[in-house]
Amino acid sequence: MSTVIVGKILGWIGFIALVHSTYSTYEHLSYLKAVEKVPNDMPIEITVECLFSVIIFAISVILVAGPLKPILMKSEMVKKSIDKVDTRPSFNTFNHRGRIIKSSLDIK
């Protein structure tokens, strides 16, 4: 079995376990409200199940994700030409004072 399939299966297991732990929490709080007790702490079983499901889900995300790409500048610069790297349109100013200076220098 490939790691992607294992990751997807673990993802569903983690998701179902998380849904079950939320339902168990709701049931526990409903029971405490019915017997008129103050909810102090969650039972350790529900807490462990919630943490277990989050860990399983995180492992599944790691298994399903593809390989990491390099982030070195050298590897990115190989793919681009100097024309794409050295374009700075913010420095191209077309509304400048050149025509005012030219008109003041023109002597007729």
**d(C-alpha 63, C-alpha 7), whole Å:** 5
**d(C-alpha 60, C-alpha 11), whole Å:** 5
Q: Which residue has the tokens 């025509």?
A: 99
**d(C-alpha 14, C-alpha 105), whole Å:** 78
Write out the chain's pLDDT in tens, 108 residues: 788 899 999 999 999 999 999 999 999 999 999 998 887 888 999 999 999 999 999 999 999 998 887 788 887 778 877 777 766 666 666 676 777 776 777 665
